[in-house]
Chain A
């Protein structure tokens, strides 16, 4: 559905502002009731999902034009989907899809955010969003004894993703993930320098054509290499492969796992055994792309209908809305809980209504100060529940949290679940 097709949703947004907060019923601490970083940081209503429905409607009615402020509102948004979850507790409308389509419209019509251009150029030229050359993509695993999926058959492809491939400080995590699979006896391989971006981050910026191109490339690569199972330690890649490709009609013929799901499986099967006690109080940050945005796509092709005398807006056939219910929430928690000695404590904003880390929607590239502010908010929450470490399951979360932690004097350790398991087995 294109942007114009959301007119009915624009009309039906009531200005309740529920999109700004986590669902009210789930608020446990009013210090941590905000759900939308953009609305919380930039104050004006336009920065909320409801506000974007408003400016979308005014654009549709030709009351305003796309200009610098419009782009500021559209792109100072983490696309984390918290608004979508809160809205749908009470409404049958699609705030996140509307925001995505607004971005696609901006790109289609040539209203490009200058800050994003180097990343897009590099993606087109070097197949990654990290401003790095393609030739360095495999460096993270250069000295590891691991099969190349392009050269020999493997049961499982380990897809590191752009951030893990190029962010040298995070290489140990990417390597540990691969090593754990090997230790468990999994026949695993990598693509090395032949690995390419999933295209998901470009899609979120509005470059739907870029992701389509990568979806087709990946499908062909996986088909040629005979890949049946893919495991990724990156939540962004997971959501792209599992959800976004399906959304645009390019579903992969591959079983996609996030590494936390695969580790849970290996632990349950007894192939990995966390034994060493880790005396640490930890909390878990749900990556948006693994949690609510990792929920499988639900295709619906039908029409809105109204029943006379009932007047409710209904769908024929009935439409199942994505409400975040079926994101990946339990697997990472189960892995953490399997590690002896850990004292696990939940934050106030969790699962479907978790607060974003700050790296989503291109914000980390275009507005690093906003990304840092968002991450610091999350660290404040983690500290408020007494956690000594915040654990996540995505390199983007890890990067932005690590940078933010330096700003607050490293009061809290920033870990990935992979690191915990590695220390314990």
Chain B
């Protein structure tokens, strides 16, 4: 064969050898989706993938019809039984009885959906899944495993030939663990967020918080405002719990840079109202309204923590508790810090007004900086 003939053959084989370089992030590779639930397993596999292993397109015309789908049911479910191997604690394989559950459209085509009750002696008994679907025909295929087994969240991605080991016997600590983990997460988030701390400070700054310490005379001039403190902190809590809850549960869809901007505005506005109080606008109402905004600021982190849907209410509970605990700790620390100064004649002028001016200045500067960097 001459060199030219060989080159021609090659180039004919690969159309546009040099020119065509389709962008990546074309469709992702082939995925199958296996969802686990208390009742059993549900799998979705693309028809174009199944057709590699089973003659779905029986008449080879490049089109799959409902008739061909119905005719292939036994073969497809046999394939699923063969290439998804469920093993119990003794390593014995258990048979899963797949039933056809319809077809569904996803972004990259039509999928076959099949369901099965838990094989082995139920979810607790299943200890391992060996996955081998398309092992010899598609190296980029993946199984996306999600849901829950025996009260435990499951999240994994398997390549053909890989296995997933399920945790040992179900433990009742799933929920408690979730709450505890999220308490820490919530507390850490509040303590690491200077914006939330600054707002809290602006809120408590005007309150007269003198402790009745032994050996010190009761200051008759102005009663301590514990009730006001309780009202403000509670209102803030109620506010951010509402939006955090709604957004986490997916009933409220907001986000973006304006949330952060509004949080900065909330600091400045509260500080300004400390300096020039409006009689009809109680502190608690302000705390409630701005609490709604701060709640949105907490959402991103909770979402990133990625609790499974079944555990989400517990995660939310823990996260809120964590924020509250951190808030109480901060307020307690503030009360202790101001004790030496709270009775001084200059307290109002220097601490309350001076602090409010400082917070107002800081928030205006921050807003200006944000505006400049966004432009």
Instruction: Decide whether A and B are members of one complex.
Output: no
Binding site for A on B (CB under 8 A): none
